[in-house]
A and B are shown apart, each in its own frame.
Chain A
Amino acid sequence: MSSVRLIWRKSVNAVMLTLTGVAAFGVVCILFLILGYFVYNGGRSLNWAFFTRLPTPVGESGGGMANAIIGSLKLLFLAALIGLPVGLMAGVYLAEFGGKAFAFVIRYTTDLLNGVPSIVIGIFAYSLAVAPVKHFSTLAGGLALGIMVVPITLRATEEFLRAVPGSLREGAMALGASKWRTIATVVLPAAAGGIITGMLLSLARVAGETAPLLFTALGNRFWSPGWSQPTAALPLMIYEYAISAYDDWHRQAWAAGLVLLAIVLLANLGCRMALGRRGMPRSS
């Protein structure tokens, strides 16, 4: 081996190591930059008023996002009500009953659904729940978010049910438990930790979705009682405030962004701490 070839080889190794290392480091930096930005800009604006007061008329300062916080909670509640049971039951079917062909179809369409742009889902919910009744509503927003919750919940449920060893199912069936009894009393409880993690993570993810809410929940500067009126939500407020001309609104948008970030981080970290590495769904 000539020394020129050797030097060349070593240089290529060094360059590639540096490039890949810098890229990996860059990824970590991005997250910390985002965090840093929001903690710095949003932290200053996060005060009691933010959480308890309604938005003030344009131009006045001192308003808050209380209605958006409640609105986001209501939307998440609806999304959970609609999306979690469907995802759970479909995941149970896939893991416990699916024949090869049908299971493949379900899995594939679920992945496709996961990849559908959220604004497209928003349009779909619009045509289903807004256009026929000619008004925007919390329900429509909840429906859009609920649809987005389904694929993540389904895959997490399937993954954790499959991880339960077959010997447990055999043990229950040998005692005279029917297939459904076995699933309900042995398999689901054994997989419960991972499934709940998947559910929480799916909710944390849709909490920050804006596009599906644009033409379903629409937004609102006041309280929105009940379920059939448009409602404010944190991501919608960020959308509205960030591109406005008012400094006060900009600060509030930072604060809202920080709150959303905090929700996502807390959900992720909390689940990881509660369950450990192996308890996290692979897809998240």
Chain B
Amino acid sequence: MRVAERPSAAHEKEASVRFEISDLNFYYGAKQAVFGLNLKIPKNKVTALIGPSGCGKSTFLRTLNRMNETIRNTRVVGNILLDGQSILNMDVVKLRRRVGMVFQRPNPFPKSIYDNVAYGLRINGYSGRLDDLVEHSLKRAALWEEVKDALHKSAFALSGGQQQRLCIARALAVDPEVLLLDEPCSALDPVTTAKIEELMFQLKDSCTMAIVTHNMQQAARASDFTAFMLDGKLIEHNETSKLFTTPQDPRTEAYITGRFG
């Protein structure tokens, strides 16, 4: 197990681990996409997943909230524990309320801004003070000031960056323990990207985050831990600063110095 071989990293993580993944294998039909992955995702920290296109990082991220089950013919073999409980045996609806996801392209519903944020609350059966919860989520997503006077306008009236922050607010509304972000900034401009990285920094006290990113500078800026994947295998996982300054594996070094990928 790669993680256990690094004493300093292990010490950090044993303090509090949110997700514990052991021996994870994932198949799209007959094709295997993830090979024997072992990883611990620490609580209230940002873990970045980096690697070249097709290395399996998005696939792996989506196993954490079982979104891959929406695709036919997929198979998960291995253990994924959320706070000690296997997510494969858990009710998938309950799992997805604890583990939220933000996607690569903003995907707001064709409803008003208010109804988008309130959607998760409504399907959970919240009937109480929705207004306060909607406001709170929009504030956490750093969008409140820009939309507070236009909550009943269509979500499509917002710009791309605002829509993505709306999707983050929507995901945060149900107060998830974990937020999975699948290249959330790849369709956005640098200014908006900076805003989202800033809000990730503020969120991590209350929310564990795992972010897949193609942008190594983003990983270096915004994450506490980084995991490098290649061809479906986890190559190296360490504190971000250590991984980027002193990578242990030659393949990691080749990737982060831009020799491939």
Interface residues of A (CB under 8 A from B): 165, 167-178, 181, 185-186, 189-190
Give the chain B neighbours of A169 by CB distance below 8 A.
Answer: 70
In whole angstroms, what is the CA distance A171 to B163 when docked?
Answer: 13
Of B94, B123, B167, which one neighbours A171 at CB under 8 angstroms? B167
B119-A185 in contact (CB<8A): yes
Given A170-B67, A170-B70, are A181 and B123 neighbors across the interface (CB < 8 Å)? yes
- Apart from A174-B65, A175-B100, A175-B119, what 16 extra A-B contacts exist at CB < 8 Å? A165-B107, A168-B107, A168-B110, A173-B70, A173-B96, A174-B96, A174-B100, A174-B101, A174-B171, A175-B97, A175-B171, A176-B174, A178-B93, A186-B109, A189-B111, A190-B110
Is B27 in the interface zone, CB < 8 Å from A? Answer: no
Give the chain A neighbours of B124 by CB distance below 8 A.
Answer: 176
Of B96, B105, B110, B111, which one neighbours A175 at CB under 8 angstroms? B96
* Beta-carbon contacts under 8 Å, B103-122 to A: 103, 105, 107-111, 119-120
B107-A171 in contact (CB<8A): yes
User: What is the number of residues of chain B that contact chain A, defined by CB distance less than 8 Å?
Assistant: 24
User: Across the two chains, which residue of chain A brings its CB closest to B67?
Assistant: A174
20 contacts between A and B (CB under 8 A): A165-B107, A167-B107, A170-B70, A171-B167, A172-B109, A174-B96, A174-B100, A174-B171, A175-B96, A175-B119, A175-B123, A175-B174, A176-B93, A176-B94, A176-B97, A176-B120, A176-B124, A185-B123, A189-B110, A190-B109
Q: Smallest Cβ distance from A41 to chain B, in angstroms?
A: 46
Interface residues of B (CB under 8 A from A): 65, 67, 70, 93-94, 96-97, 100-101, 103, 105, 107-111, 119-120, 123-124, 167, 170-171, 174
Closest 8 pairs (CB-CB, A-B):
A167-B107, A176-B97, A174-B101, A176-B96, A175-B120, A171-B107, A176-B93, A190-B110
Q: Smallest Cβ distance from B64 to chain A, in angstroms?
A: 11
Give the chain A neighbours of B110 by CB distance below 8 A.
Answer: 168, 189-190
Give the chain A neighbours of B67 by CB distance below 8 A.
Answer: 170, 173-174
Give the chain B neighbours of A168 by CB distance below 8 A.
Answer: 107, 109-110
User: Across the two chains, which residue of chain A brings its CB closest to B99?
Assistant: A174
User: Across the two chains, which residue of chain A brings its CB closest to B110?
Assistant: A190
In whole angstroms, what is the CA distance A167 to B101 when docked?
Answer: 12
Chain B CB within 10 A, most for which of A165, A168, A175: A175
Give the chain B neighbours of A172 by CB distance below 8 A.
Answer: 109, 119
Q: Smallest Cβ distance from A97 to chain B, in angstroms?
A: 12
User: Across the two chains, which residue of chain A brings its CB closest to B96?
Assistant: A176
B70-A167 in contact (CB<8A): no
Give the chain A neighbours of B107 by CB distance below 8 A.
Answer: 165, 167-168, 170-171
Give the chain A neighbours of B119 by CB distance below 8 A.
Answer: 172, 175, 185-186
In whole angstroms, what is the CA distance A185 to B171 when docked?
Answer: 17
Q: Smallest Cβ distance from A183 to chain B, in angstroms?
A: 13
In whole angstroms, what is the CA distance A171 to B107 when docked?
Answer: 7
Q: Smallest Cβ distance from B250 to chain A, in angstroms?
A: 37
In whole angstroms, what is the CA distance A171 to B111 when docked?
Answer: 13
Give the chain B neighbours of A174 by CB distance below 8 A.
Answer: 65, 67, 96, 100-101, 103, 171
User: Across the two chains, which residue of chain B brings its CB closest to A99?
Assistant: B72
In whole angstroms, what is the CA distance A178 to B69 when docked?
Answer: 12
Q: Smallest Cβ distance from B225 to chain A, in angstroms?
A: 23
